[in-house]
Structure 1
Amino acid sequence: MKPAQSAPQPAAVEVDVVVVGCGPVGALTANLLGLRGVSTLVVERSTTPHGQPRAFSCDDEALRIYQQVGLLDSIGADLHQPTRADYLNAAGRTFATIDFSEVDFGFGHAPLNFFDQPRLEGVLRAGLDRYDHVELRLGTELVSLYQDEERVHLVLRDVRTDQSYPVRARYVLGCDGARSTTRAAVHIPLAGASYAEPWLAVSGEVPPEGIRRAHTTFVCDWRRPAFVSPGARGSYRAEFMLQPGETEAEMTRPDRVAALVEPYVDPARFTVTRAVIYTFHQLIARRWRERRVFLLGDAAHQMPPFLGQGLCSGLRDAANLTWKLALVLDDEADPALLDTYETERRPHTAAMAATSVRLGRVFLARDRRAAWLRDTALRAAQTVPRVRRFVRRFEFKPLPAYDQGLFAGGRRDGAVGTMFPQPRVALPGSKVPVLLDEVLGAGFAVLGTEVPADGPGRPPVRAIVVHPGDTAGPASSGAEPADERVHVIDIDNVIIPWLRRHRCEAVLLRPDRFVFALGSTVEVLGALAGALRGSRSVGQAAAA
């Protein structure tokens, strides 16, 4: 009798990138990679959509990222955009207000947006169907991985059949949340603090006539701080801090939930879809890269919810890293360029987390005297016009800017390192305005009033010639056949004044819309070519 033989191992699948986790951050990451032609395998342990409205808010930067992958119209169809956010004291009086009608960071979208997470994930996952080189495998989990000089070798398991199989990738992106299997596989610890106060998060549906508090509201009641707001698609969100001794079993009872939401919605018309207890964290991974493995979103950082920046920060991670990966995979840049991902993103994320903590201290005063002092101080401060504008216009939110990284000179210098505005422009011969990003393309772009047709080189850079808003642009909508420049009319009168203010002829934008360089077209393109050729030194300097 011949000895029994084991079944032959299947040949390992080879892809450029494996994305572990297909929540909003993982799905967006895969869309951005698909947009740039990167062969991608996305694995998600769940066999069905999550179906729970966990994250529910995003900002204008997030919408700009969704716009870049061509999914904004689908995502934006059901957004709720609040007009203001009120801060109430224990007596129900407003002591501070953010007026979103006065908030415009210049990025083309509303500053605060509430969405339905199940629908958002559905749109992002459906977006992957546009790319033959992107595959989503549900019911698939990461078992283990190891790295050599050229590849990451993964073992994946189909949770429905319990069958494991190998996959090889050039890079792995861990987008698998706070309990990240990817982070554990590369032995990266978290550092920071977890807050002991448990919260009850209640989501539900309510008709308009059942809403009693129609504006986004932070209830700064020292006895029980709370947050309430209408949301997308007829939903309503309410979160309440638990008091000592209150248990999950007690506080999630229908009668207790009804009593808590009663001041804000009619309990008889409020259909609860989710009621869970959670605690929040301020945690950040010790490092975000282990050779060919990167962490994004909650796998890399977790922050308090008071600024609504948890998901947004993960989306920024994806927008920052994916185009750099594409350059490296296309041999347009040295792999050391990827070091600038953490160099750029970590300080900005830390600033967001710190601002969230400070806002939480305002929100979470836990005794009567501290709350009285807070209310009195904020009311007095807002009698000063500049302070009042600072609060009403949401100016305490950290703006998108990176102090060092992949920029001309390697660090922030004036406008270099900041996000470029997104005004409306028009194409010659058209009266229909479009947002600027619609004409920038997915890669680098150089904008100026005089951009030579033969300027762009490697990597490809789209040339945008900007005409004043009071002109019709060039005489004809078509240029010479060899001229691939795009002509736009600055109908909002933003771009040309921006160039004058910064005393430059042209501005070079990175694919994530951050300013890479200012100067003449020749200067900014030369700076880009030099940075990518010398990206090993850029990465080493940034890491230092």
Structure 2
Amino acid sequence: MRPVEPPWTDALREVDVVVVGCGPVGALTANLLGARGVDTLVVERSTTPHGQSRAFSCDDEALRVYQQAGLLDRVRAEVSVPPLAEYVNRRGRVFARIALSEIDFGYGHPPLHFFDQPRLERALRAGLDRFDHVRLALGTELVTLDQDGDRVNLVLRDVATGREWTVRARYVLGCDGARSRTRAAAGIGLVGRSYAEPWLAVSGAAQPSAVRVEHTTFVCDWRRPAFVSPGAGGTYRVELMLRPGETEAELLRPESVAALVEPYVDPERFTVDRAVVYHFHRLVARRWRSGRVFLLGDAAHQMPPFLGQGLCSGLRDAANLSWKLALVLAGHADPALLDTYERERRPHTVAMLRTSVRLGRVFLTRDRRAAWLRDSLLRAVQTVPRVRRFVERFEFKPVPAYRRGLMAGGRRRGAVGTMFPQPSVLVPGEVGPVPLDRLLGDGFALLGRPESVDRLDRASAAADTDRPAADRPAADRAGADRPAADRAAAAAADDADADRAADAGRAGAGDRPGTDWPVAVRHVVVHPPGTRPSSLDRPRIGRTGERQSRRGGPVERVDVVDVDGVLGEWLRRHRADLVLLRPDRFVYAVATSAGIDRVGRDLGAALRPIRHARPGPGDAAGPEAVPSLS
């Protein structure tokens, strides 16, 4: 990362992407773009990471996103993993329990993590130091922006001096929070509502012996609902609803804070770092894209905290959009691909918001009789094993899946459109099991049984050998290690090759054996449990001169041992020989060996639709309708 001291000069500056805001979502987005080689400028109004803890929790899907950004070790060092969450009545009697330590959704990480936001932000910003093509401009704010078709013109201002200058970007990502200046500048409104009840959030450091409530606990007291939990690094969090007639000034007095936290932590040994009164919201932006401007995180959606999914949803936004932007900027995909960002993310976010609201209704009962009925009902239904499992295993949380978007057929069907599991596997050259994602690379990946992948490799190699060099796409002729600056030119030549083929009346890849991938696809060969890793070939990744796929880059191959049989069972359950994963680990397609050619053609059509049907630069289809949030 190259720090920027604004303003650089009075001259106009050009950059591929400007990320507005460097909180957790903005910093993570910049890391994902940096890992994919995107020239990125991050602007942040503050000069230091946020000094107080606001966001507090994230889930297994969030850890998987950090993993994709190469930040897992940094983040894991800053989080704690709670074993249990309980719902108790005002007398402390448990009426619902979530056994977090027994839950495994299959994505490679525990289901819940707590963190200290200032330390997390420092870790994420430190990750940017890996990239010379990512620049961070602190003490810089967005003033205005406008679009002229192929670029966004941003006026930025140095907060300290008031001096302004202009930057031109191909795309702008607004990660600047609930009061997003990006959203306002793009003229995008919000729909939904804010809750009238104010809450007091208190966070600080507590000695272990000072903690009186040791587990994550939702205190469903009809007089004053509360949430309390130990956090990462010796921190403790207490959130309580204000009662009618109580004022912010009254409750923020040190003696009031001490009295309120006293049932949960000894105030004499609890150092308060932050005490603030806030309201929570259920709001979603009317649209998440305006031309070349996109909204992510709280700029696009805000939800109640009861499911702990506010930050997680923003991280999912970053994981969904970053790889698509990288493909478009490199010339490997049509800009229309970017329309799938909101098409995929909005329905899932709204489902998560609605679940948070429903959970809040359970938690926020303010009537004594209604609270008694709730407690009695929840205790009773948990005597039914299936209902108890539904609660204890957190099955009410919406699964990571997309209804429509970039997937075979354009719609979710079976496993298509869902997040693929991440078991541990054995691989030659590694000591002990490693997480699957570490071996998938940062692009598309094709997983399958040895016979299926070997058959595909042999057919593709034979087709490449038979095909005249002059008839191969420019991407193949350019070589696996061509400079990044040549990618756009190679992609343009590739388009010309496709046009010539169409003019000649060639039907496409299905007329030849092998698969014509439109982008580089790593092949991952899944061997059954009991296979000795030493008997397998070492991974072939990024070797100069490696055999090329006919339209993508080099064919990379990794052989893995399915230690626990998770991958083999997944393929059996979905009656598949092969599964194609997107860079964000969602399933693009499942196929038999005979049907994989069609998958390659469909992916090519999805990434590069017929030209006369393409939207203009920065155009967006937009959502079909703004869904109700009730």
Normalising by the smaller structure, the TM-score range is: over 0.9
Using the aligned pairs only, state the percent identity: 70
How far apart are 1:12 and its partner, in Å?
Answer: 1.1
CA distance in 1, matches of 2:150, 2:442: 27
What residue in structure 2 maps to residue 138 of structure 1? 138
What residue in structure 2 maps to residue 220 of structure 1? 220
CA distance in 2, matches of 1:263, 1:538: 61
1:437–1:275 CA distance, 2 compared to 1 (3 A):
same
How far apart are 1:104 and its partner, in Å?
Answer: 1.0
Any gaps of 5 or more consecutive residues in structure 1?
Answer: 1-8
How far apart are 1:158 and its partner, in Å?
Answer: 0.9
8 Å CA contact 1:408, 1:517 repeated in 2: yes
What residue in structure 1 maps to residue 531 of structure 2? 471
In the TM superposition, 1:415-430 aligns within 5 A as: 415-428=415-428, 430=430
Spell out, residue by residue over 1:73-97, the C-alpha distance to the aligned partner (whole angstroms, 9 max, x if none): 1111131111110101122100000
1:490 is aligned to 2:562: yes
In the TM superposition, 1:19-418 aligns within 5 A as: 19-418=19-418
How far apart are 1:192 and its partner, in Å?
Answer: 0.2
Tell me whether 281-290 or 254-263 shows the greater mean CA deviation.
254-263
What residue in structure 2 maps to residue 532 of structure 1? 607
8 Å CA contact 1:456, 1:463 repeated in 2: no
CA distance in 1, matches of 2:516, 2:535: 23
1:541–1:193 CA distance, 2 compared to 1 (3 A):
closer
- Report the 3-state secondary structure (helix = DSSP H, G, I; strand = E; otherwise coil) of the residue aligned with 1:193: strand
Query: May I ask how many residue pairs the two structures share in their alignment?
Result: 536
8 Å CA contact 1:88, 1:217 repeated in 2: yes
- TM-score for the superposition, normalised by structure 2: 0.83
CA distance in 1, matches of 2:255, 2:610: 60
1:140–1:465 CA distance, 2 compared to 1 (3 A):
same
CA distance in 1, matches of 2:539, 2:375: 61
Any gaps of 5 or more consecutive residues in structure 2?
Answer: 1-8, 461-514, 541-545, 548-554, 625-630
8 Å CA contact 1:106, 1:423 repeated in 2: yes
CA distance in 1, matches of 2:533, 2:108: 22
- Report the 3-state secondary structure (helix = DSSP H, G, I; strand = E; otherwise coil) of the residue aligned with 2:398: coil
1:370–1:426 CA distance, 2 compared to 1 (3 A):
same
Paired residue type of 1:386? R
What residue in structure 1 maps to residue 572 of structure 2? 500
CA distance in 2, matches of 1:281, 1:226: 17
Spell out, residue by residue over 1:9-35, the C-alpha distance to the aligned partner (whole angstroms, 9 max, x if none): 822110000000000000000001111
Paired residue type of 1:510? R
Paired residue type of 2:310? G
1:432 is aligned to 2:507: no
1:448–1:160 CA distance, 2 compared to 1 (3 A):
same
Tell me whether 112-121 or 430-439 shows the greater mean CA deviation.
430-439
8 Å CA contact 1:404, 1:542 repeated in 2: no
Which of 512, 517, 536 is equivalent to 2:589?
A: 517
- Report the 3-state secondary structure (helix = DSSP H, G, I; strand = E; otherwise coil) of the residue aligned with 2:160: coil
- Report the 3-state secondary structure (helix = DSSP H, G, I; strand = E; otherwise coil) of the residue aligned with 1:485: strand
How far apart are 1:531 and its partner, in Å?
Answer: 1.6
8 Å CA contact 1:29, 1:322 repeated in 2: yes
8 Å CA contact 1:340, 1:542 repeated in 2: no
1:538–1:317 CA distance, 2 compared to 1 (3 A):
farther
- TM-score for the superposition, normalised by structure 1: 0.96
Tell me whether 101-110 or 284-293 shows the greater mean CA deviation.
101-110
Paired residue type of 2:311? L
Tell me whether 214-223 or 156-165 shows the greater mean CA deviation.
156-165
How far apart are 1:233 and its partner, in Å?
Answer: 0.2
- Report the 3-state secondary structure (helix = DSSP H, G, I; strand = E; otherwise coil) of the residue aligned with 1:114: strand
CA distance in 2, matches of 1:526, 1:366: 57
1:124–1:78 CA distance, 2 compared to 1 (3 A):
closer
Paired residue type of 1:533? R
| RMSD (Å) for aligned C-alpha atoms | 1.7
How far apart are 1:475 and its partner, in Å?
Answer: 3.0
1:17 is aligned to 2:17: yes
